[in-house]
Structure 1
Amino acid sequence: MHLILRRIAGDVKQYRWAAAAFLIYYFVVRSVFHAFCPLLILTGFPCPGCGTTRAVICIFTGQFVRAWNLNPCAYLWVIFGAWFCCRRYIMGKSVRGMTKWLAVIAAAMFAVYLYRMATVFPGYPPMSFKRDNILNRLLPFYNDLLRHLFGI
């Protein structure tokens, strides 16, 4: 157990500045824009990852159907996270092949995103349009143009 904690502590120490930058981004963006996703904040459109964090939380709290509705790819992230933690921290082995699996998950997320944009957008969160976006603030006609072109 001591060895596992030492491996985790080593990674925390190595990536502490990236984690700090992420936390600063999170708190600033959430307090200013009341959202996290840069694409959503800028354009009002959800991104392929929208809903993933909420879906992972739902998986861990036993709300499996809700997790699937928020973002079905969250299950892939949970499986990947379990594999990564087991291999890296418990077994102490290299995580070779990680890039391949991340590419597979990214491709799956993009495919699911295209399907959901074609079939359920604009619908319920996370597949909804955020009218209070930066482009609308900079270009007042932006939302009207999108409403005219796409009916959103």
Structure 2
Amino acid sequence: MDIKSAKWVIIFIIAYFVFLKNFLYSTCPLVILTGFPCPMCGMTRAGFALLRLNFGEAFHIHPFIYPIIFMIVIFCINRYLLLKKTPEWMKWCMIFLLASMVLFYIWRMYRYFPGEPPMSYYYNNAASCFFRTFVIR
């Protein structure tokens, strides 16, 4: 079974999120390193809004939460209930979805950056701390 064989990866991911959430200001590696949001920024908050059944807030935070969840559900049904390999059309749908997310990210950066979260700039990122400490003296 896939989940059983990936238990250490799942444990690592959970530990990663717990550590970063408790000790840093973000769980996104790009935000931590550069201060800039990534195309997936806001997805965790949108997922938690869905768990609270706040569908409008989830869409407002990151509208791609719905197609991603739809693709995950289709993948799980196909893989674990029907016991089939991932069909070729689903791979192309994921490529299209990821490309659409990048285009949406560019638009969102143009329209909202550095405004409301998740399109915010985080000043205490690793790169700026490095430059303040070692380069600019």
TM-score normalised to structure 1 length: 0.78
Corresponding residue to 1:122 among 91, 114, 120: 114
1:98-117 aligned within 5 A? 98-117=90-109
Structure 1 stretches of 4+ moved >3 Å: none
Contact 1:73 1:108 in 2 (8 A): no
After the TM superposition, which residues 57-72 of structure 1 pair with which residues of structure 2 at under 5 Å, given as runs? Answer: 57-72=48-63
Uncovered stretches (5+) of structure 2, i.e. residues with no partner: none
* 1:90 maps onto 2:81 in alignment: yes
Q: Greater CA radius of gyration, 1 or 2?
A: 1
Asked if structure 2 preserves the Cα contact closer than 8 Å seen for 1:43 and 1:135, the reply is yes
Within 2, Cα distance between the matches of 1:65 and 1:28? 29
Partner Cα separation in structure 1 for residue 68 and residue 17 of structure 2: 20
The CA deviation string for residues 99-120 of structure 1, in whole angstroms up to 9 with x for no partner, is 3222122111101100000001
Aligned mates of 1:11, 1:29 — CA distance in 2: 26
Q: Deviations over 1:40-85 (max 9, x none)?
A: 0011111000011221232343322211211111111111011112
The number of residue pairs the alignment matches comes to: 132
1:31 maps onto 2:22 in alignment: yes
Once the two structures are superposed, the pairs formed by residues 3-18 of structure 1 within 5 Å of their partners are 10-18=1-9
Residues of 2 paired with 1:121 and 1:140: CA distance?
23
Q: Secondary structure of 2:132's partner?
A: coil
- 1:88, 1:57 → 2: CA distance? 25
Gaps of 5+ in 1: 1-9, 142-152
Aligned counterparts of 1:19 and 1:80: Cα–Cα separation in 2: 20
8 A Cα contact 1:42 1:135, kept in partner:
yes
Identity across aligned pairs (percent)?
Answer: 33
Say whether the 8 Å CA contact 1:55–1:68 is kept in structure 2. Answer: yes
- The question of whether the paired residues in 2 share the 8 Å contact of 1:52 and 1:74 is answered with yes
Cα deviation for residue 30 of structure 1 reads 2.5
Amino acid at match of 1:66: E
